[in-house]
Structure 1
Amino acid sequence: MKHVRVTASVDPERSPPLFDRLANSSAIDRARVLDWNLTSEDAMILIALDGDPAPVVDPASEFRGVDRLDVSGGDGEAAARVLLHVQRSAVPIFSCLASALEAGGLIVRTPVVFQHGEVHARIVGDPGPLQDAFEQERGDIDVRIDEISSTPAVGGESANGLSERQREAVLAAKRLGYYEKPRDATHEDVAAELRCSPQTAGDHLRKAEAKLVESALDEVDSGV
C-alpha cells in the first residue's frame, strides 16, 4: 500500500479568489479541509480556519462558484468552522482531488491543508488518478510529490501546521523532560536550549500545543 504526501500550488495569475483567500491571506494562518460531500458539479466542504475568517466570510458573495457559506466559532484559540456550498470549479485543486476520488483506487486523507500559497494532501493508494486529474488542468496547477512510502507519514506541516520554530520548541521540551510528571524542565530551560527569552519559549510551546490538540481533534471529527 502506498502512502503519498503531495504539495500543490496554483498559478497566482489564474488563482480563483476563494483559493487565493484560503491559501494566501495573511490573516489566515492555515485552512484545513476536515470533510466534504460531493455531487457531480457541487460540493459541501467543512473547513477549519486558524486566524481571522473575515477574508473568506465577508466577501463570500463575491466569490465565483460559492453558493452559500455558514460560519461558527473563531473566538479565542478555537478555529472557526466554515461550511461552504460551492461549485467544484471554484477551487481547482479540490476539484482535482474530488475527480481522483471518483475514479477510485485511492483515499484522500483529511485534513487537506491550505497554507502559504500551497495545498498539502495525504493520499493512500494508487496516485495515478490524481496525477491524471492534475494533468487535465493544463498546467494551471504545479504539483510535487514530497514522499512515497509504505507506511503513513508521522507529523509534518501538512498534518499539524507547526512552524519550524514551534517544532524545535516542542522537541526541546520533550528532550528536556518538560512533559514528564513531575516536570523536569521549565520555560527557562527550553529558552536556554532555543537561545530565546522564556516568554518567547512559552509562546512557541503554547501555540504548538494548541495546534497539536486542534489537529488531534480534527482526526477525531473526520473519523480518521
Structure 2
Amino acid sequence: MRYVHVEFEFPPAVRHPMHDFLDGGDGRRSELLTWRRLPDGTLATLFRVAAPREPYLDRLREVEAIERFETVPGEAPFYLKAYERLGGPTERFLDAFVDTEYLSVPPVVFRPAGRLSFGLIGPPDQLRDALAAVPNPIAVEIDRIGSYGGGRRLAGVRLTERQREALRAAHRVGYYEVPRTGSVDDVAASIGCSSSTAGAHLRKAEAALVDAFLG
C-alpha cells in the first residue's frame, strides 16, 4: 500500500473558526481521530484537543454550524465529539477525496497558522487528481511518500530534513542502543557537521517527537 503524508495550509479567508482558535497560544493543537458524514449531511467528529478547555468550548458555542457537542470531563488535552452542518470550504475540501480509493490514516492534525496534516493510503495514480481537486487558495505540500507499514505515526510532527538525517544517523550508529554504542561525535561524522550542531539537531528533533507523543 502506498502511503502519503500531506500538509495543507488554510489562509484565514477559508479557515474554520476553531482552527483559527489555535493561533491564540503556544502549544495549541487538535487531532481529528475519527469522523463520519451522516446521511443528512452532518459531519460527526471525535477530536482530541490540546488547548484551554473552557475558552475552546466558549468559542465552539459561537460557531453557527456546530449543532451540538459533548466532552469527556477533564482539562487539556480533552476529548470532544461534535456534530457540524457541512458547507463552504470544509465541505469542498472533503469532497476532493470523495471519489478516490484513498483512506485517511488518523489523526488529522490541526496546528496554528492554518496548518493541517494527515496521512493517506491508496493507489498512486489517484493522488494527483485528489490533490488537484483541493480548492484554492489552500496550499498543498507532500511531506512524505512511501510504502505503508502500519504502526503509530505521529502525524503533524514538523522536523527539518537535517533533523531527520541526524535521527537516522543516530539510529544507525547505535546512539539509541541500550547500552549506547554510538556517540554524538559519531552522528556528527556521519552527517558532516560539528558535534555541537549534531547535538542540537538531535535535541530539537527529540523534543518535537516527545511533545507530539505526550500531547
Asked if Structure 1 and Structure 2 have the same fold, meaning a TM-score greater than 0.5 normalized by the shorter chain, the answer is yes
Q: Distance in 1 between matches of 2:95 and 2:26?
A: 30
Q: Measured at CA, do residues 115 and 158 of structure 1 come closer, stay the same or move farther in structure 2, by a change above 3 Å? A: farther
Name the counterpart of 1:218.
Answer: none
Q: Distance in 1 between matches of 2:79 and 2:111?
A: 16
Q: Measured at CA, do residues 169 and 61 of structure 1 come closer, stay the same or move farther in structure 2, by a change above 3 Å? A: farther
Alignment pair present for 1:118 and 2:119:
no
> What amino acid is the match of 1:89?
G
Q: Distance in 2 between matches of 1:74 and 1:80?
A: 6
- Dislocated runs of 4+, deviation >6 Å: 201-204
Q: Deviation at 1:63?
A: 1.5
Name the counterpart of 2:132.
Answer: 131
Identity over the aligned pairs, expressed in percent? 21
The structure with the largest alpha-carbon Rg is 2
The normalised TM-score by structure 1 is: 0.63
Q: List alignment gaps of at least 5 residues for structure 2.
A: 188-193
Counterparts of 1:33-44 in structure 2, within 5 Å, are: 33-39=32-38, 40-44=40-44
The normalised TM-score by structure 2 is: 0.65
Deviations 1:116-166 (A, max 9, x none): 32112323332335533x34xxx3x42324258553499xx9725245498
Q: Deviation at 1:173?
A: 5.8
Name the counterpart of 1:30.
Answer: 29
Contact 2:19/2:111 (<8 A) preserved: no
Q: Deviation at 1:61?
A: 0.7
Alignment pair present for 1:161 and 2:157:
yes
Q: Deviation at 1:69?
A: 4.1
RMSD, matched Cα: 4.3
2:104 to 95, 102, 108: 108
1:181 to 178, 182, 191: 178
Q: Distance in 2 between matches of 1:173 and 1:74?
A: 36
Q: Measured at CA, do residues 147 and 171 of structure 1 come closer, stay the same or move farther in structure 2, by a change above 3 Å? A: closer
Counterparts of 1:1-224 in structure 2, within 5 Å, are: 2-22=2-22, 24-39=23-38, 40-66=40-66, 67-74=68-75, 79-89=77-87, 92-93=89-90, 95-96=91-92, 98-116=94-112, 117-123=114-120, 124-125=122-123, 126-127=126-127, 128-129=129-130, 131-132=132-133, 134-135=134-135, 139=136, 141-146=137-142, 149=145, 151-152=147-148, 159-164=155-160, 174=171, 177-183=174-180, 193-194=195-196, 205=206, 208-211=209-212, 213=213
SS of the residue corresponding to residue 81 of structure 2 reads strand
Q: List alignment gaps of at least 5 residues for structure 1.
A: 216-224
Q: Measured at CA, do residues 202 and 65 of structure 1 come closer, stay the same or move farther in structure 2, by a change above 3 Å? A: same
